[in-house]
Chains A and B, each alone.
Chain A
Amino acid sequence: MAAGGVRQGFFTAGHVAVLVAFSVLLAFPFYWMLITTFKGTSDLYDITNNPFIFNAPPTLEHLRLLFGETMYLRWVGNTALAGALVVAITLLLALPAAYALARLTGQWGQRLGIAIFLTYLVPPTLLFIPLSRVIALLGLQDTIWSVVVVYPSFTIPFSTWLLMGFFKSIPRELEDAAMVDGLTRFGAFVKLVIPISVSGILTVVIFAFTLVTQEFVYALTFIAPEAHQMVGVGVPTFLVRGDVYYWGSLMAACLITSLPIALVYNLFLDRFIAGFTVGAVK
């Protein structure tokens, strides 16, 4: 079995090489954001310096600029508020819709479910031009209300789809028993199904919230003033003055915004993916 042993060793080395190569390539920009955040300005902009090491002592000047002299925190606040409102609208509409699809619409449920899932595929770049007019007509332009109204159009379809799968996994007998005990169907949904679906609901909350933080095109289209930006547009737009990029503060903002989102999203990743596989995996 010498040959087999050699082959085993070869594939293990190959395995490690693949993992290291992908980790380095995919995570490098975030490492680079970290390095840039703490580098002094003169160190950053000297091309004779080795960029991988600190040629001058690390500094907090970029963080001070970011938090003290830009509207970064305001953008984070705007995004958090918009995210909370979008999550509320999404839950209010998607929870009953998903339950109806899972339990009450019979054979139509599956088809309607797929139909509503497909609307998730409609991209912002198809609708942004007419939507910008609708938003202007409604008087929502340049406020976060524009995105609060529009974002549920893509958080509801996917959340409904996720929750539908979740509700289907709850045994029907539970609700049947509750209804025998005198609850109405809707009563059983509110008092029984929702409380035992907390983990599914939490998944949707995280999913909808992270989508709000990640969206770029609608926010760029609807909101112009600096004070009302969402963080994903404000950072790349307003930390640049004319042609001058404040790279230190820019990278700090990218890193500080991305990491918490990435950490939370990562916890729920498998559940989102289960929604995306559209039944092609069982």
Chain B
Amino acid sequence: MSTKSPGSGLIPFFAANLSVRNRSAVIWRGLFQLSTVIGMVTLALLLYTVINKSFGLVAINNKVNPETLAVNGVPLEQLDKDTLVNILQNNVSKGKFRQLEREMPMAERTRDEVYALVIDTVVQPKDIVGTWTLVESLTRRNAIIAQVHDEHPDATVSFRSWLNPNFINSPQSSDPLAAGVRTAVLGSLLTILTTILVAFPIGVGAAIYLEEYAEDNWLNRLLQTNITNLAGVPSIIYGMLGLAIFVRGMEPITSGALLGGADPTTANGRTILSAGLTLALLVLPILIINGQEAIRAVPSSLRQASYGLGATKWQTIWHHVLPSALSGILTGTILAVSRAIGETAPLVVVGAATFITFDPSGPFSKFTTLPIQIYQWTSRPQNEFRNIAAAAILVLLIMLLTLNAVAIFLRNRFQRN
């Protein structure tokens, strides 16, 4: 009797409940796991959607059916260069061929260039009558070809990778077969360069001030709170600020008129400079917060040792704090920059050009960027523009992936020290 512990009368009660409790624990554990899986599946679905649209069969109406150009049963795309030159010679007028020779002799052109020339001048793709996704193309290839032959007897069906060297290297065009992202990629790079040049010094300076100099008073607390809040302001608001200040207010500077460098095609403030400055304001809070974290991670013993040797505050920061925080700061900067590269909304508001076919030549050029190009192509109702939008998304994701790989590399080096 006396050995029985006071609570043991409750054991049957616990035991009766135990199976219920354990069961709900298992069920909920499963639910938590499921949620995580849903997150992963969505990421996979997103990539699947983009890749699925970037490759696939396409039916094109041509002026000349490429099948008729086959020589001895060898299809056009497998012919060697000499045969292709022959085809070219036989199918275009003599004057036209001489003109092509003058531009660049056939002997100097590569096989792929001649092939592209044959497609352009002889086959002359006119319009797309249908596009199919990668999965459809792989599973229903024959059905699709039969269907196209029924509905559009003149059209040829071929497998097309929308993401191809030509796509990366061509300027924008209203023809989805010829359109490319070169203008947009160059625009993105120039804009981001402007952003980094402006935001990096200010952001690092602010981070140094807040971590090393700022005393705990109301002004500095306000600065810190304000930066945290700015990081949460929607990007489109920055776009409106950029429109009001950089595009309108500082038009003489951002259009280049004041410096005499104005681009005659622009002649207003909707330039790469305005876009870069707007994005600089947008990434500044993130850059400052990341920079602060990197500086805070530097052990204070380093500073004390430097002071002990008689260094001034700035000498300590410049020679000891900044070098050891540098890779952290760079990682943070890259992450902030990769956010800026993907930004679309503020640049639409600042006034990205809807259609430009020439490369940007400097900070005072009209601009378009890769995300804006994606947005414009996505908004078109035609299916083939969705295909090139998907290919452009792949280009954008590859750019971001490269940047993040650099950031991870820097972070790993940082952690080893």
Q: Check if A and B associate.
A: no
- Give B residues with C-beta under 8 Å from A: none
- Give A residues with C-beta under 8 Å from B: none
